[in-house]
């Protein structure tokens, strides 16, 4: 099972519609057996993708060509014995969420993740909170 973790930045001119990205991703990823987690504050994206090698590559190739974001940096690309994110999930802090509720939800999503993946998400979340 291949697992990729990347970070990217929303294109300055892009009108980011997170719900639209989520709908597209759910539809395609289900079809292709790709699972993962997408975190965004609508300025940065941090995403894990996992599944069969070719399926993950196909999704990543599409994502790389997407003009809604730029500066895509793959933080790791590795083989995992089993999925760490069994269900496709997307997390963002909605207008009605308080920071603690949001963080609690992220902690749940990350429960089965390896410490590196968890640490990366937690680092970004902490940076966001400190900003």
Ligand X SMILES: Cc1cc2nc3c(=O)[nH]c(=O)nc-3n(C[C@H](O)[C@H](O)[C@H](O)COP(=O)(O)O)c2cc1C
Q: Which residues bind ligand X (CB under 6 A)?
A: 8, 21, 24-25, 28-29, 38, 45, 47, 49, 59, 62-63, 66, 68-69
The Cα 64–Cα 15 span in angstroms is: 17
Smallest distance from the beta carbon of 39 to ligand X, in angstroms? 10
| Residue 100 vs 127, nearer CB to ligand X | 127
Smallest distance from the beta carbon of 100 to ligand X, in angstroms? 25
DSSP string across 107-123: HHHTTTS-HHHHHHHHH
| Residue 58 vs 122, nearer CB to ligand X | 58
Whether the Cβ atoms of residue 75 and residue 9 lie closer than 8 Å to each other = no
| Residue 2 vs 69, nearer CB to ligand X | 69
Task: Copy the structure tokens of residue 112.
Answer: 């089965």
Smallest distance from the beta carbon of 11 to ligand X, in angstroms? 9
Smallest distance from the beta carbon of 66 to ligand X, in angstroms? 3
Spell out the residues 6+ positions from residue 89 whose beta carbon is closer than 8 angstroms to its own: 36, 37, 38, 109
| Residue 23 vs 104, nearer CB to ligand X | 23
Task: Copy the structure tokens of residue 19.
Answer: 């719900």
């Amino acid at each position: 099972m291949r697992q990729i973790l990347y970070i990217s930045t929303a294109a300055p001119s892009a009108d980011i519609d997170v719900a639209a990205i989520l709908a597209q991703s759910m539809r395609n990823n289900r079809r292709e057996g790709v699972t993962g987690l997408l975190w965004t504050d609508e300025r940065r994206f941090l995403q894990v993708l996992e599944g069969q090698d070719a399926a993950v590559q196909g999704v990543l190739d599409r994502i790389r060509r997407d003009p809604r974001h730029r500066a895509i940096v793959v933080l790791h690309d590795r083989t995992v014995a089993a999925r760490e994110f069994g269900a496709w999930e997307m997390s963002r802090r909605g207008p009605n969420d308080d920071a603690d509720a949001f963080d609690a939800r992220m902690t749940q999503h990350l429960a089965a993740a390896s410490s590196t993946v968890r640490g990366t998400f937690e680092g970004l979340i902490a940076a966001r909170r400190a900003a």
